[in-house]
Amino acid sequence: HAKACGRRQAQYYNQDISTTAKARFLLESQLTDAIAHDGLSVFYQPIMSADGSAVVSAEALVRWQHETQGFMSPADFLPLAYETGLIAALDLWVLNQVCRDIQRAREQDLPMPPVAVNLSADSIMDPLLADKVWESLQRYQVLGTQLELEVIEDAIKGDSTVLRCTLEELVRMGITLSIDDFGTGYSSLLRLKSLPFTKLKIDHSFIQDLPGDPDDCAITLSILGMARGLGLKVVAEGVEHGEQEAWLQHQGCDYLQGFKYHKPMPVDDFLELLITA
Ligand code: C2E
Ligand code: MG
Ligand code: MG
Ligand code: MG
């Protein structure tokens, strides 16, 4: 009897897998298509000065306007992009789109601050990354100083000469390198010191309960202290209210990012904000 039940379960299970597999396959081909035919879009989230008053840069965040599932955020499709190896192509598409937007702003004489693009481990480990970035800057006549690149700690954990060369080449182009979601991954402070990163972004999970949670205060303070010692700038992610802002300001955090200021928005809204701000 137990066997029979097991068999029936196995059947359902298999059926489940095959429907899921079909759905995933469809989504994968749609994502491939979206990357190839500009079916994605880039939203810009302003990053503010320490007092929260001025936009100093922005982060580019990918969005997908799916034909049947509507607006999809990264959490809905990035895991698939990672698993299927599409993530590097997606990153490159975002980078190109950002350069295109910077060029367009310049053509219209509109101000545009530096923009940070997120890179996956696949991208940062690509030996041809520096060439691809250079090509993109050239194509849209964008200066390296107008670009920042963000990677999470775990993307740079391997010690490879390829990675080191890539990072150094990017820095030579004038690009700022940041560590994203700092504090959530594997990181050796020694490696941090030896690689040419100049900015840390404190993960929003540590910011969320500031200033009420003593552990989060201690963690954030130690990141700020270490960053100051190493000469790194610090961005606090996920700032949502005034008490967080006041505390971070008081502790000398350099930049603030979060819904308290602005949510990610389409490029036209972002450019308009810069004019009226
Ligand atoms: P991230 O790089 O840490 O980006 C910050 C995320 O926090 C964004 O989510 C942003 O919308 C959200 N956020 C900003 N302020 C607040 C706040 O005050 N409260 C809360 N709760 N959230 C806030 P989003 O756009 O959904 O992106 C999620 C993640 O997806 C990003 O985290 C990044 O790791 C990844 N991602 C986004 N675009 C790309 C891309 O082009 N390439 C790659 N490889 N990853 C990307
Ligand atoms: Mg980021
Ligand atoms: Mg982050
Ligand atoms: Mg994050």
- The answer to whether the beta carbons of residues 180 and 201 sit under 8 Å apart is yes
| 88 or 1, which is more confident | 88
Give tens-digit pLDDT for 21-65. 888 899 999 999 999 999 999 999 999 999 999 999 999 999 998
Q: Place 3 in a pLDDT band, splitting at 50, 70 and 90.
A: very low
Q: In this structure, what DSSP letter does residue 91 have?
A: H
Strand partners, 115: 58, 147
Which amino acid is it at 159? Answer: D
The pLDDT assigned to 1 comes to 47
User: In this model, does residue 5 exceed pLDDT 70?
Assistant: no
Residue partners of 191: CB distance under 8 A and separation at least 6: 156, 157, 159
In short, whether 194's Cβ falls inside 6 Å of ligand 1 is: no
Count Cα neighbours of 126 within 13 Å in the Cβ-side half-sphere.
19
Mutational pocket test of ligand 1: of 61, 119, 122, the residue with most ligand atoms within 8 Å of the beta carbon: 61
Which ligand has the shortest distance to the CA of 238?
A: 1
In short, whether 204's Cβ falls inside 6 Å of ligand 1 is: yes
The pLDDT assigned to 4 comes to 47
For the chain, what is the mean pLDDT? 92
- Average of per-residue pLDDT across 180-195: 84
User: In this model, does residue 228 exceed pLDDT 60?
Assistant: yes
Q: For residues 72 and 173, what is the distance between their CA atoms, to the nearest angstrom?
A: 33
- Average of per-residue pLDDT across 107-113: 96
How far is the centre of ligand 3, averaged over its atoms, from the C-alpha of 7 (Å)?
45
For ligand 1, atom 28, name the residue with the nearest CA.
Answer: 74
CA 157 to chain centre: 17
- Whole-model pTM: value is 0.93
38: left (phi over 0), alpha (psi -120 to 50) or beta: left
Taking every pair of Cα atoms in the chain, the longest distance, rounded to a whole number of angstroms, is 76
Residue partners of 9: CB distance under 8 A and separation at least 6: none
Nearest atom of ligand 1 to the alpha carbon of 239: 18
In short, whether 74's Cβ falls inside 6 Å of ligand 1 is: yes
In short, whether 245's Cβ falls inside 6 Å of ligand 1 is: no
The pLDDT assigned to 59 comes to 98
Extract the runs of DSSP E, i.e. beta strands, from the chain.
Answer: 40-49, 55-66, 70-72, 115-118, 147-152, 176-182, 199-202, 233-236, 255-256, 265-266
Which ligand has the shortest distance to the CA of 257?
A: 1
